[in-house]
């Protein structure tokens, strides 16, 4: 079926086209009119970018943002690794940054850094894998969610992706992860909403056209051939390469700092014109069970080096964004899967803990410190952990609402529950329209729904499956599973007996699939 035919048939069934409401009937224009095409594009789009910095391993928040207010208890709990008070970079008199973080201190002084104390969630997990999945999915501790919070956001903003992408209104990747594989953060209900650029070989391949060595054998010849085709056909290779080439001059970044290397690429791509919304980078080594400080000088050592690199990299990135004239558009955040135990262990390290501070940074950040300095018990035991003050999902909800401009009504569909919005960023200038470009193959009406909703789908013919999936990925209903002639059809999903919450309607038509998020309300 042609795209136009599809629009003609499916729009009356309740496709969300907010711009149609203002007095014009769809029929009056006719599906072929140019204005229809323009209506399919976003009206005004925010150009905001969000950068997520993952600190792998569980960062020791207590030695990064040291509680000056409770310094004696802090020293008492960490006699072998505490950071001396006089060396701290004081923030608000109540807490101080690790002395290695001079770059971030300078940003704080300018009001470009928000320090959020004690971010966590109820019943924290102490497993790297599980805690990382919780942070990336935005799930409760005892709940499995197999999509990422940013993936759900991108699926909300670009509901038809990847069918019909890239297209004129979105030429670029929706999200870019620097690394080997896209993380759960960017996983949408059907497909990953991001693309990854490996920082070992693929990225440099892409940007600089460098080949990995292939053996000089017939096998190497064929491998080289396939790699070349692969580079030519990576869906977004051309636009990424063009963006990277567009940016010719940048400020200098710290050397031997892999986080800086990654952020330098991000700045280059933002300035180069990519409309990509989300970038994700990561930096590892924070699992400091032993020797996290120098045996002579606690302000030095492994953890100090990590923090220095984080600080230097973010500072250089921020300076670069200003130099490139795009600092208005970018906000970033750090996170780690957990903080570390209050009490240090006998090997000059710290074991897995719970809540920890995180940073939100950028020109449009409301600078300062959010929350109370963590209280440290006078007599800590090995099982003492910091309680959380802010749920990490409130940070996400705030970014989505105030920075990525998601309508309040739609926040719950992305975050799966309601979370408080915090004073983190300047919320002015948010305008938003859902981007309906691409090929819409499945939709539902009404949405949200209370008992049932009508699902409209378009099949190219052949075996077609419509299933309803919950947020854990469990199939709760197969609405149809049979051969169809090409065309547009409807099926009714009756969700009366199901709990309220988010469900996904998935179309599978041979090699094609598309997923629509639906919200069931009371």
Partner 1 sequence: MDRRSFLTSTIPSSGSGRVKTAPLPPPNGGLAPFTGAWTENEVIHLLKRTLFGVTRADINYFRTLSLQQSVDELLNPTAPLPDLPVKEYTVPAGATNPDTNIAQGSTWVLDVNNDGTVNSLRMNSFKKWWMGVMINQDRSIREKMTLFWHNHFATETGTIGNAQYVFKHHLLLRTYALGNFKALTRAVTIDPGMLVYLNGERNTKSAPDENYGRELQELFCCGKGPGSQYTEDDVKAAAQVLTGWRNDAASISSYFDVKRHDTGNKTFSAFYGNTVIQGKNSATAGDEELDALLDMIFATQEVAKYISRRLYRWFVYYDIDSTVEANIITPMADLLRANNYEIKPVLSALLKSEHFFDVLAKGCQIKSPVDLVVGTCREWQVAFQPSADYLTNYGFWSYLVNWANNMQQSIGDPPDVSGWKAYYQEPQFYEVWITSDTLPKRNQFTDTMVQNGYTFNGKKLFIDVTEFAKTLPKPEDPNVLIDDILKLIYRIDLSAASKNQLKTDILLGGQASDYYWTDAWNVFINNPGNTSNTTTIRNRLRDLIKYFMNLAEYQLA
Distance, in Å, from the CA atom of 196 to the CA atom of 218, rounded to the nearest integer, reads 30
Site mask for partner 1 (CB under 8 A), range 157-186, x = bound: ----------------------xxx--x--
CB closer to partner 1, 118 vs 288: 288
DSSP characters for 279-329?
EEEEE-----SS--S-SS-TTSSHHHHHHHHHHHHHHHHHHHHHHHT-GGG
Min CB(142)–partner 1 separation in Å: 8
**Close Cβ partners of 440 (under 8 Å, ≥ 6 residues apart):** 6, 10, 15, 159, 160, 163, 458, 514
Distance, in Å, from the CA atom of 128 to the CA atom of 121, rounded to the nearest integer, reads 15
Coil, strand, or helix at residue 44? coil
Does 245 sit near partner 1 (CB under 8 A)?
Answer: no
Site mask for partner 1 (CB under 8 A), range 187-206, x = bound: ---xx------x-xx-----
Coil, strand, or helix at residue 3? helix
Does 228 sit near partner 1 (CB under 8 A)?
Answer: yes
Min CB(194)–partner 1 separation in Å: 13
Does 508 sit near partner 1 (CB under 8 A)?
Answer: yes
Distance, in Å, from the CA atom of 212 to the CA atom of 227, rounded to the nearest integer, reads 9
* Angle, CA 426 vertex, CA 321 and CA 41 arms, to 5°: 75
CB closer to partner 1, 233 vs 249: 233
For 425-475, give the secondary structure using H, E and C: ECCCCCCCCCCCCCCCCEEEECCCECCEEEEEEEECCEEEEEEEEECCCCE
Burial annotation 447-464 (CB, 10 A radius, 16+ → b, else e): bbbeeebbbbbbbeeeeb
29, two tokens: 């224009």
Does 494 sit near partner 1 (CB under 8 A)?
Answer: no
The stretch near partner 1 (CB under 8 A) out of 10-18, 79-87, 223-231, 425-433 is 223-231
CB closer to partner 1, 427 vs 460: 460
Site mask for partner 1 (CB under 8 A), range 53-72, x = bound: -x-xx---------------
Does 132 sit near partner 1 (CB under 8 A)?
Answer: yes
Given 18, 30, 122, 284, the residue binding partner 1 (CB under 8 A): 284
CB closer to partner 1, 200 vs 451: 200
CB closer to partner 1, 99 vs 188: 188
Distance, in Å, from the CA atom of 268 to the CA atom of 52, rounded to the nearest integer, reads 16
Does 16 sit near partner 1 (CB under 8 A)?
Answer: no
491 prior amide bond cis, ω within 30: no
CB closer to partner 1, 223 vs 454: 223
Question: Which of 486, 491, 481, 437 minimizes the C-alpha distance to 458?
Answer: 486
CB closer to partner 1, 1 vs 460: 460
The stretch near partner 1 (CB under 8 A) out of 9-17, 244-252, 424-432, 459-467 is 459-467
Given 16, 35, 43, 226, the residue binding partner 1 (CB under 8 A): 226
Does 420 sit near partner 1 (CB under 8 A)?
Answer: no
Does 75 sit near partner 1 (CB under 8 A)?
Answer: no
Place of tokens 């069970």: 289
119, two tokens: 């971010």
Does 230 sit near partner 1 (CB under 8 A)?
Answer: yes
Residues near partner 1, by CB under 8 A: 54, 56-57, 125, 127-130, 132-133, 144, 146, 179-181, 184, 190-191, 198, 200-201, 209-211, 213-230, 232-233, 235, 282, 284-285, 287, 463, 465, 467, 478, 481, 506, 508, 510-511, 513
């Amino acid at each position: 079926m042609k795209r136009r035919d599809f629009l003609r048939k499916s729009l009356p069934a309740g496709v969300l086209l907010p711009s149609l409401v203002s007095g014009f009937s769809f029929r009056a224009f006719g599906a072929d009119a140019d204005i229809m095409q323009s209506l399919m594009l976003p009206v005004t789009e925010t150009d905001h970018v969000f950068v997520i910095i993952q600190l792998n391993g569980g960062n020791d928040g207590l030695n990064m943002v040291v509680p000056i207010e409770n310094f004696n208890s802090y020293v008492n709990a960490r006699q072998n690794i505490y950071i001396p008070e006089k060396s701290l970079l004081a923030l608000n008199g109540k807490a101080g940054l690790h002395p290695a973080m001079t770059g971030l201190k300078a940003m704080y002084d300018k009001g470009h850094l928000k320090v959020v104390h004690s971010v966590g969630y109820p019943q924290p997990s102490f497993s790297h894998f599980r805690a990382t999945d919780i942070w990336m999915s935005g799930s409760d501790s005892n709940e499995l969610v197999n999509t990422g919070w940013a993936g759900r956001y991108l699926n909300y903003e670009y509901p038809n992706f990847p069918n019909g992408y890239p297209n004129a209104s979105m030429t670029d990747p929706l999200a870019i992860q620097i690394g080997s594989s896209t993380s759960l953060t960017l996983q949408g209900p059907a497909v990953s909403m991001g693309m990854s650029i490996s920082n070992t070989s693929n990225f440099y391949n892409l940007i600089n056209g460098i080949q990995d060595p292939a053996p000089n054998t017939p096998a190497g010849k064929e491998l080289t051939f396939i790699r070349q085709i692969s580079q030519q056909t990576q869906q977004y290779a051309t636009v990424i390469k063009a963006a990277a080439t567009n940016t010719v001059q940048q400020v200098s970044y710290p050397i031997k700092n892999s986080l800086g290397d990654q952020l330098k690429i991000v700045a280059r791509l933002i300035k180069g014109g990519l409309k990509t919304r989300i970038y994700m980078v990561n930096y590892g080594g924070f699992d400091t069970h032993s020797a996290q400080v120098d045996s002579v000088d606690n302000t030095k050592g492994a953890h100090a080096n990590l923090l220095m690199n984080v600080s230097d990299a973010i500072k250089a990135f921020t300076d670069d964004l200003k130099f490139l004239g795009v600092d208005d558009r970018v906000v970033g955040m750090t996170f780690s899967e957990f903080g570390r135990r209050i009490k240090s262990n006998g090997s000059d390290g710290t074991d897995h803990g719970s809540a920890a501070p995180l940073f939100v940074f950028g020109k449009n950040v409301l600078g300062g410190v959010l929350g109370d300095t963590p209280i440290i018990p006078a007599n800590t035991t090995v099982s003492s952990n910091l309680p959380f003050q802010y749920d990490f999902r409130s940070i996400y909800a705030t970014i989505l609402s105030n920075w990525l401009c998601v309508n309040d009504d739609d926040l719950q569909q992305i975050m799966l529950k309601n979370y408080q919005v915090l004073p983190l960023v300047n919320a002015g200038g948010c305008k938003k329209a859902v981007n309906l470009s691409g090929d819409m193959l499945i939709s539902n009406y009404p949405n949200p729904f209370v008992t049932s909703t009508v699902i409209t789908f378009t099949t190219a013919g052949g075996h077609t499956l419509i299933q309803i999936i919950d947020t854990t990925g469990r199939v709760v209903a197969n609405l149809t599973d049979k051969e169809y002639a090409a065309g547009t059809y409807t099926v009714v999903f009756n969700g009366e007996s199901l709990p309220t919450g988010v469900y996904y309607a998935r179309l599978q038509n041979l090699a094609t699939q598309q997923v629509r998020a639906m919200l069931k309300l009371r």
